[in-house]
Structure 1
């Protein structure tokens, strides 16, 4: 085994802090911070995943009202020890070319497209962390025989936990966080409803 590069060693015994991510130029592009630990996306991304993310960004941006921005693969500083990077996020923050992350107050919707290596984090860890941070809506997109299936959740404010609002196949219609209508089959090239 080779030695761990010096830059990968946490700067303190408790681990990394959210602001440390901005000072790690050697880290892979898709590096998250979960409970003070760096999480790297090292395996190759499936084409299905990449196309779903791109199609969702384009579809949501097309439907978003003025003052709402749609981003992909930008981190959210949930707290001092957590800075996950969702696949898609919908935010009220204006465009800033120097931005490296968002805060939960700026985020209306987080979307995670599940990959084999991220399944546990997307289905359990991030579901809980996004809710505890107060993010109003969470979508988890699963691959069901090549078709995207969206598991949608809405925040229950008093408990800071998510309540499921539906499992969407073929089509997703929602009034929150803004009116959205998606033909889910059209998110994957070659699949038409």
Structure 2
């Protein structure tokens, strides 16, 4: 389909309801929207990415979080931005709930995990870092797909994230530790 044909059907300003409809109609792409209204459409991640998410999901559930608390690819409403983190961890008794849009409100959201892809480095490290901190999400982890699969853990301090472990830690070390929030 040409860009001209797609453009004919696009609203003048894309909102979270539009974003949800696009994502529902297209299972081959991930749709996100910045607070400024910038639409990002990216292909689904490769199997290696999905395997990292699965390993983290299994580790989080093995460390005291239920399957209802650890949710993969849950769309969240971050002050009007529509984000779809790789993993989210929710407080007991506070599962993701739709907000003013089909996306979940961040109330009860304890942790957001993003596996950094080559095409999302700036978005994950700068844009989402700022959006998640501004939204008051207590923890933000970035997982690099480098040789050691480095996990960078950030903890909210006032309105900004502070680094838990300087330089990050290899995923293998994280997966052999006990999780405490």
Q: Are 1:20 and 2:18 matched, yes or no?
A: yes
Secondary structure of 1:151's match? strand
Instruction: Name the structure 2 match of 1:187.
Output: none
Q: Are 1:132 and 2:130 matched, yes or no?
A: no
Matches within 5 A, 1:13-92: 15-24=13-22, 25-28=24-27, 29-34=29-34, 35-42=36-43, 45-65=45-65, 69-80=69-80, 82-92=81-91
Gaps of 5+ in 2: none
Instruction: Name the structure 2 match of 1:164.
Output: 163
User: Per-residue displacement from partner, 1:151-175 (whole Å, max 9, x unpaired)?
Assistant: 0000012xx1101111112312465
How far apart are residue 38 of structure 1 and its match? 1.8
Higher fraction of helix: 2
Instruction: Name the structure 2 match of 1:113.
Output: 115
Structure 1 residues 95 and 137 mapped into 2: Cα distance closer, same or farther (>3 Å)? closer
What TM-score does the superposition give when structure 2 sets the normalisation length? 0.79
How far apart are residue 18 of structure 1 and its match? 2.3
C-alpha contact 1:105 1:134 (8 A) present in aligned 2 = no
Gaps of 5+ in 1: 178-193
Work out the number of aligned pairs and report it. Answer: 167
What TM-score does the superposition give when structure 1 sets the normalisation length? 0.75
How far apart are residue 27 of structure 1 and its match? 4.4
Structure 1 residues 68 and 103 mapped into 2: Cα distance closer, same or farther (>3 Å)? same
How far apart are residue 46 of structure 1 and its match? 2.6
Distance in 1 of aligned mates of 2:126 and 2:8: 29
Distance in 2 of aligned mates of 1:118 and 1:23: 23
When the two chains are superposed, the root-mean-square deviation of aligned CA atoms in Å is 2.6
C-alpha contact 1:113 1:140 (8 A) present in aligned 2 = yes
Structure 1 residues 7 and 122 mapped into 2: Cα distance closer, same or farther (>3 Å)? farther
